[in-house]
Chains A and B, each alone.
Chain A
Amino acid sequence: MMKLSNIHKTYGNGALQIAVLKDINLTIEPGEFVAIMGPSGSGKSTLMNIIGFLDYPSSGNYELNGEMISSFKEKQLAQLRNQHIGFVFQQFFLLPRIPAVKNVETPLIYAGVSKRERRQKAQQMLEKVGLEDRIKHLPNQLSGGQKQRVAIARALVNDPSVIMADEPTGALDSKTSEQIMELFVQLNEEGKTVILVTHEEEVAAHAKRVITIRDGMITDDRRQDA
């Protein structure tokens, strides 16, 4: 369970201080499928980064399964990012010079998994996302949808409980977007918590819970049938 209480995030200092998040209170239970929506500049990405331990709140409490994140050291946060969360980005962020399977292996390297096990798990994940015939391909030999599948395989490879996706379909055409979203739905059905940030209604429509954020504040939090 992820519980955010009175989370504030401000950038800059003095007179130039900009409040990006204002008093966010939010609880996400395991197995939820949450879409965070809002116009650009609303603070939705910042919220996701804080939830995903990529960024720190300026104030407020963040509890993960009853533990206070603010007391965590850099090393523990890295471990959380490694074990607890799988990230998917709009721009895919694949390492360009290594093949798909190596990209998928990367989180396992930081988890200290042996080479053989790494290769095996990475291949399994690529099969899961339907890319068993693209294992040795370099990212630039893959289409956008395929790249995002590799990124999803990479997010899944360490078996995290939470998948976080920042505009995962933002760089894809609508047909491919649909396929990718189906993959997220499938992952959620398998028990993963899925949190995605989007500004597209069609994408948010797949989620079971939609949180709308505007000017750094949660303006709407509703559950829906996917």
Chain B
Amino acid sequence: MNIVESFKIAFSSIWNHKIRSILTMLGIIIGVAAVIIIVAIGQGAQSMMTDELFAVDKNVIELYYEQDFSDEEGMMGDFYYEEPEITQEDIQILQALPDIRSVIATNSAWGSVTYNDKNAEPEITGVSSEYFSAQSIEVLEGRPINNRDNNGMNRVAMIDTVAREKLFKENEDPLGAIISLDDNPYKVVGVYNSPIPEQFRWSEGGEMLMPRSVIALMYGSREVDRLAVIANDSERIAETGWLAADTLTEHKQLENGSYTTYDLSEIENEINQMVLIMTLFIGSIAGISLLVGGIGVMNIMLVSVSERTREIGLRKALGATRGKILFQFLIESITLTSLGGLIGIGFASATAGLITLLSPIDAMVSPIVILIGVGFSAFIGIIFGILPANKASKLSPIDALRYE
């Protein structure tokens, strides 16, 4: 007797008891669906959190200045915090390090922008010419901010597509337009596409780029208040960060403080760890329903064995060996649970699709999860099918035939 034949017998037996089979499978369906949905949500939440944290490229690492202060000063509460200025020379030294692809040195501001009767409140970043290649900014119209703008403190600005939409009509040419930022006039020289993924953009006001020297002047801020480096090798991001920080500390001959960095991948690992623990925890609760489902399958298989005692006796009289009877009942319970597993996966996929559609979480049902789902439900079929199948196979043919 081959496998195909056993599956046929199994399917017809399941088909002949439709309602019973569906009720039996329900436990497996719910269990498999619950586990898959929870894993999908977990993975979705994890990638959402990491995406949000690492909206920038994974090979960008920030540098921070940390001031040393003695306990005394700290107790007195009157320590003086002074962060050293980052000069163009510092940037060039960092840029020259072999592991560093480029340096991002920016400052920022907020402001209210008006053009004609429209206005927007964009996020303003002060940049220099290197910024464009470092962040691979796509300039859609006009030109990027260049060194002349910075050196000459040109009152120019670039707007991103969101800000363009806020301030200009679609057919209006923004290039050369004079916009007013906090009542000071600036000329728009370019339009760019923000490198930030669409879902994380500042949709209220968009973004604007200006020469950082101009921002420093107009807002009284430091010329560089965010310093980050982009590593050539994202695998060595932490080392690169520390190299940059140490180089900078040494170069500037700092006495009261030092540059430091922190490794975002550590935070990422922590988040992943946390989500994994949550997923495992909730998943194992859902797994209990799989266990209950499995017991239901065992129960029904036992019922089926006693219902079909005579059939088993007959099959033995006709030449079925113990192994073949065992195999047939095992195939039947595996078919039952696998079918339940498949329905559960279908249900889970639909639910995951709905979650993705209706919530910000991208619930992902990966092929490997599907594979594990089917495999595991078949495994439940084996585990909970063994006992009834063994019971069936052990029946003596004559006792089975006489069974009333």
Contacts and interface: CB of A to CB of B under 8 A. Distances in A.
Interface of A: 49, 52, 54-55, 74-75, 78-79, 81-83, 87, 89, 93, 95, 97-98, 106-107, 109-112, 154, 158
Nearest to B311: A95
Contact of A109 (B1, B317, B322, B397): B1
A83 B397 contact: no
Contact of A78 (B5, B311, B314, B321): B321
A103 to B, nearest CB: 10
B1 A112 contact: yes
A26 B246 CA distance: 104
Contact of B5 (A55, A75, A81, A109): A109
Contact of B321 (A75, A87, A98, A106): A75
Contacts of A54: 316-317, 397-398, 401
Given A54-B401, A55-B396, A55-B398, A93 B314 contact: yes
Nearest to B4: A115
A67 B96 CA distance: 94
Given A95-B314, A109-B1, A89 B319 contact: no
Contact of A110 (B311, B324, B396, B397): B324
Contact of B318 (A49, A75, A97, A106): A106
A55 B395 CA distance: 12
Given A55-B396, A81-B319, A87-B317, 17 more contacts: A52-B317, A54-B317, A55-B398, A75-B322, A78-B316, A78-B319, A78-B321, A81-B317, A82-B320, A89-B401, A93-B314, A95-B311, A107-B318, A109-B1, A110-B1, A154-B318, A158-B319
A78 B313 CA distance: 12
Contacts of B269: none
B187 interface: no
A75 B324 CA distance: 10
30 contacts: A54-B397, A54-B398, A54-B401, A55-B396, A75-B321, A75-B322, A75-B323, A78-B316, A78-B319, A78-B322, A81-B316, A81-B317, A81-B319, A82-B319, A83-B319, A87-B317, A87-B318, A89-B401, A93-B310, A93-B317, A93-B401, A97-B12, A97-B16, A107-B319, A109-B1, A109-B5, A110-B315, A110-B320, A110-B324, A112-B1
Contacts of A112: 1
A87 B16 CA distance: 27
Contacts of A87: 317-318
Nearest to A49: B398
Interface of B: 1, 5, 12, 16, 310-311, 314-324, 396-398, 401
Among B319, B323, B324, B401: residue with most chain A CB under 10 A: B319
B400 to A, nearest CB: 10
> Which of B311, B318, B321, B323 has the most chain A CB within a 10 Å cutoff?
B318
Which of B12, B315, B322, B323 lies at the interface centre, i.e. has the most chain A CB atoms within 10 A of its CB? B315
Contacts of A82: 318-320
Contacts of B324: 110
Contacts of B397: 54-55, 81
| Most chain A Cβ neighbours within 10 Å, of B310, B314, B317 | B317
Nearest to B397: A54
Contacts of B322: 74-75, 78
Contacts of B320: 78, 82, 110
A158 B318 CA distance: 10
Contacts of A93: 310, 314, 317, 401
Contacts of A158: 319
Contact of B12 (A74, A98, A106): A98
A31 to B, nearest CB: 23
B318 A81 contact: yes
B315 A106 contact: yes
Contacts of A52: 317
A190 B162 CA distance: 96
B373 to A, nearest CB: 31
Nearest to A78: B321
A1 B396 CA distance: 25
Given A89-B401, A95-B311, A111 B319 contact: yes
A110 B323 CA distance: 11
A74 B319 contact: no
Contacts of A74: 321-322
B398 A110 contact: no
A119 to B, nearest CB: 13
A134 B12 CA distance: 21
A200 B400 CA distance: 26
A82 B401 CA distance: 16
A83 B321 CA distance: 13
What are the 4 tightest A-B residue pairs by CB atom distance, in nearest-first order? A82-B319, A110-B319, A78-B321, A107-B318
Contacts of B311: 95
